[in-house]
Amino acid sequence: MSMSSSRFGAALVASALLLGSAPAFAQQLGAGTPAGAPQGPLKVDLIPTQATWTKVCGHDNAANKDICYTTRDFSAQKDQAPVLALAVYDVKGDDTRIVRLLMPVGLMLRPGFRFSIDKGPVTEGAFEICFPNGCFAEAKVKSNVIDAAKKGHTMTVVVKNQANAEVIFNVPLEGFGKAFDGPAIDPKVLADQQKKLQEELQKRAMEERQKLQQQQGGAPAAPAAPAGK
């Protein structure tokens, strides 16, 4: 997966761990529907789980290039964990941009996915790698696709579930253009966000341990070690 080994993918990897509702959400996508059962396209209108888009910039030593990515997480319902994340990578000096999605499990990995901005041309992409709570997919695009996204209202992402029925994610793009063209987030603010993210990961890990021990009838789990220790 392009640039997956660099630190510029760290935020999306963390998002993969935070997609706590993804396995349950996969059932809502019709993953358990018997093959051949009549089922029309399932439309999911997503809402942001973050107040704004986040733009992160830095230098990739391996590629010796400056890279920025603009990202945001989305959920199917208010006050619920993210089920999809979108990030657009801009590599200085390259004409090609990368649109990367983190999507729920329970989808068919082939033939991949396709997306369009509003009612514009369709772009195809492929799944790259999956984690227990989500799968990465990406498409390489030219600047005209990004220009359309900066001016557009909705990115429509189409995939298929395991029953071979289409699942349509409608991703709102409000504020994307301003963030993409604007300054990167302050490193101190980003560090604070990453700290909160780590605390959330530890909290969820602790909750899962407690649930597991309760199911097994064991003693309460010991508190998780503080971050960085």
Instruction: Give the model's pLDDT for residue 6.
Output: 38
DSSP 220: P
Q: What is the DSSP letter of 212?
A: H
134 assigned to some structural domain = yes
Per-10-residue mean pLDDT for the chain, 229 residues long? 41 50 58 51 91 89 89 87 90 92 90 95 95 89 96 96 92 97 83 73 76 72 50
Beta bridge partners of 74: 48, 84
Encoded amino acid at 121, one letter: P
Which domain CATH number covers 163?
Answer: 2.60.40.1880
pTM of the predicted model, to two decimals? 0.74
pLDDT for the residue 13: 47
* Residue 149 covered by a domain: yes
Query: Is 168 domain-assigned?
Result: yes
Q: How many domains does the chain have?
A: 1
Residue 88, domain member (yes or no): yes
Q: Is 207 inside a domain boundary?
A: no
What integer pLDDT is reported at residue 39 of this predicted model? 62
Domain membership flag for residue 65: yes
Distance CA(167)–CA(154), nearest Å, equals 16
- Backbone angle region of 175, left / alpha / beta, with phi > 0 → left and psi within -120 to 50 → alpha: left
CB atoms within 10 A of CB 171: 23
> Does the residue 214 lie in any domain?
no
Characterize the bridge pairing of strands 42-45 and 166-172. parallel
Q: In terms of residue numbers, what domain contains 166?
A: 7-190
Question: Within 13 Å of residue 76, how many CA atoms lie on the same side as its CB?
Answer: 18
Per the rule left: phi > 0, alpha: psi between -120 and 50, beta: everything else, 7 is: alpha
pLDDT at residue 26 in the model: 59
